[in-house]
Structures are given as C-alpha cells and as structure tokens.
Amino acid sequence: MEQLEQLEKTTVKKPKKYDTPPIWAQNWIPLVSDKQNRTNGGYPGNTGGGSGGGVNEVEKERTKLSYNENLDVSITKVIPYEDLTRKVTQWLYSHLYDLRQNEPELLGFLELELKLGRIWSKELDSRIELPISTEVIVTDQINYYFKPGVENPMFVKIEDFLMKQNAKTAGKKFTTLKSDTMDFFYQGIIRGDKPYNLRVSQDKDTKRIINQIEKRRVGDLFIHNPSNILDFRLSLSLEIPIKDIPKAISKTEPNMRRHKVRTSYISDACKNKFDLTKTYTFHQQQQGKPEQNYEIEIEIEPNWLLDSFNNLFVSTDNQTYEDTVKVMLDNSRILNRSLSS
C-alpha cells in the first residue's frame, strides 16, 4: 500500500436503409485533423448535426431513476446520454461501419481491447498534465503516445481485487484461465506486396503452435484520467488467422520475441475478459535481460460486440451496443479507482 501511495504521489499527473440515419451515424469530430490523426474516422450518413439536441430514441427509454420514484430525472423527464461513452461508441461505430461496408468478411476477426497505462508527452517525457480534473478523450496522437503497463504493486493489487470480487459475487463467477506462451513477431514488406505484421504463438512447454495471425490495427482512442493513477487506450484490431507463414518470412529471424504469462478472468455476466499478463520481451539482436512489463487489459467478447452492432441495422435494439461499451468503460474505471482505495 505504501508503494502504491508513493507511485500516486510521484506520477505526473446491410442491410436495412434508414430515411434518417440512426443515432450512431453522426460525426466523430476529433480536435486534431484527420491528416494528423488517421485513427479518427468520420461517420457515414452524416446529416451535419452532432450528437446533442433533441430527444433521441435511446433516451426515450430511460425516464426513471432506479431509487426514488418521487424524483424526476430531468425537466424533460429524460436521462441525457453520458457524453464520453457516446463519443467512444461513435468512434467505434465509424470503424465498424467502414468494415461492414468495405470488408464485411473481416468483421469476424475483430478485437476491441482497453489497456491500462499512461498517456505520455513526447516533449516533457512524462505523463501528460492538462488543465482539467475529469476524464477526457485525448485526440492528439502526434505529441502524445500511450505507455501500456503498470508497476508491480498495482498489478498485484488489481489481481487481488478481482479475486476478492469473484469470491463475494453471487450467481455466475468468473471463469479463470491460465496460459504460458511464447509470441514471435515478424514485421516487414514482401516484394510487390503490402506490409505485414505477423504473430506466431506457441505453448512455452510443449512448443505446440496455438495460432498464427496477421494483426492489423484499425484505430486507437486515448482517455486521460487526471483524478486517477492510470489512463486508458482503446484499440480496435483485426486478428486474421494465417494457415501458412510465407517462406520468405519463416526463414527470417523474428523482430521480437515475447514470453507471456497470463491469467484471464472471464465475466460472462459483463461479456468482459480481464487479462493480467506478465511479459518478458526480447527485441531483435538484444543482449542481456529481457524487458519486463505488467499489463492489464479488458476485452469485450467479440461475438457479443458484433451482434450488438449488427442489431442496429436489423432490429429495434439500439441500446445494447452502447451499454456494451459502457460496461467495459465502467469496469476499467472500477479497476483504476481500486488502486486509490
């Protein structure tokens, strides 16, 4: 606990067509231009309006507080949407919609993960300090970058928190999985072809190949939490299975090797997987000890996320999609705040 307190002190702070586009088909407007930040895509079906103004279909359903029937939720008797969650769902929708329109066959390979770490200033070489006191989306990915990972005391405390939460939870418990793997990363360009980013994973003990994938990063979103020790990065990626590694690649040395010791806590009730991973990374031609890191990430169950997105086009359920994103954000906030408790 003393180590955590010291860290907190020293950390610088298709097919359906709409006459009117659905609530998600509105612009994701970053503060940094698209030429500077390619990860922030515009929304299809934009009518020129933002997400504010008027009562939308989502809000009409939410007209009661759960605790006091004598207190109206607002003068419009409608609970307004929470702005940050809405911005995240719009960012995600823009990328999923683009895939649905242009490469629908790849939607089955998507992965949305949220990592804990710190948003870092390149100029100051420290965690960013903004004149704000509440969480905010940071759209500048030119001057800032994300440093994933936590210190060991945080890692231990969050693991202890999850185990205690699981022990006292009524009903469905977490499913716990442990793995010990070696990842081999290959990056480069094959003559006349596109750049590649391949990962081969094998069981560390048996050497059995677990999977071979091409990983494509679709987009990143940074969330700064000035009131807490850690920030978040949401990453949308495609993990496309590769049956055979091209000979031109398999004969080369990997750019990086990573030993990964992971415990996964899977919550079926939340459709979230919490991965706590100790990594030992060897870069190409690196001598000496590996780079050690402690990583914490949350993933939404991919099929659930995809179904909730597809339901926006084929059913009247336009709330599960946003709720799914909100659950992941809320779980990340709970883990972050547990470090200060």
Residue 84 lies in a domain: no
Give how far Cα 227 sits from Cα of 5, 125, 311, Å.
14, 20, 36
Residue 203 β-bridge partners: 181
Q: In whole angstroms, give the CA distance from residue 144 to residue 136.
A: 14
Sign of the four-CA dihedral 148, 29, 325, 179: negative
- The pLDDT tens digits for 4-21 are 555 555 544 433 434 444
Mean pLDDT of 310-331: 92
Say if CB 193 and CB 302 are below 8 A apart.
no
Predicted local confidence at residue 183, as pLDDT: 95
Q: Is 7 inside any structural domain?
A: yes
High-pLDDT (> 90) share of the chain, %: 61
Q: Are 10 and 163 in contact (CB under 8 A)?
A: no
Predicted structure pTM score: 0.81
Within its chain, how far is the Cα of 267 from the centroid?
16
Spatial distance between the Cα atoms of 231 and 118, rounded to a whole number of angstroms: 5
Query: Does 331 reside within a domain?
Result: yes
Q: How does the average pLDDT of the chain come out, rounded?
A: 83
What are the tens digits of pLDDT across the range 220-264? 999 999 999 999 999 999 999 988 777 767 678 888 999 999 999
Domain residue limits at 136: 2-22+109-338
Q: Among the listed ranges 149-158, 188-197, 242-251, which one has the minimum average pLDDT value?
A: 188-197
In which band, very low, low, confident or very high, does the pLDDT at 318 lie, cut at 50, 70 and 90?
confident
Per the domain annotation, does 160 fall within a domain?
yes
**Number of Cβ atoms within 10 Å of the Cβ of 37:** 17
Label residue 73 by pLDDT band (50, 70, 90): confident
pLDDT of residue 63: 60
Rounded distance between C-alpha atoms, residue 167 and residue 157, angstroms: 15
Q: Is 243 domain-assigned? A: yes
Question: Domain holding 235: CATH number?
Answer: 3.20.100.10
Q: Would you state the pLDDT for residue 190?
A: 61
Residue with the bigger pLDDT between 152 and 171: it is 152
Where residue 149 falls (left for φ over 0; alpha for ψ -120 to 50; beta otherwise) is left
Does 238 map to a domain? yes
Tokens for 43, please give them: 């929304």
In Å, how far from its chain's centre is CA 106?
18
Lowest mean pLDDT among 111-120, 190-199, 249-258, 330-339: 190-199
Confidence band (pLDDT; 50, 70, 90) for 29? low
9 or 208: which leads in pLDDT: 208
Least confident residue range of 130-144, 236-250, 254-268, 313-327: 236-250
Query: Would residue 318 count as lying in a domain?
Result: yes
Q: What is the DSSP letter of 106?
A: G
The pLDDT value recorded for residue 168 is 84
Local confidence band at 310 (pLDDT 50, 70, 90 cut-offs): very high
Which residues does 326 contact at the CB level (< 8 Å), separation at least 6? 82, 85
**Is 93 inside any structural domain?**
no
Quote the number of domains for the chain. 1
The per-residue pLDDT for range 280-296, each reduced to its tens digit, is 999 877 777 899 999 99
pLDDT of residue 243: 84
Q: How many residues does the chain have?
A: 341
Q: Determine the residue type at 186.
A: Y
Buried b / exposed e along 301-316 (16+ C-beta atoms within 10 A):
bbeebbebbbebeeee
CA-based nearest residue to 310, from 93, 83, 43, 90: 93
The pLDDT value recorded for residue 248 is: 67
Confidence of residue 30 (pLDDT cuts 50, 70, 90): low
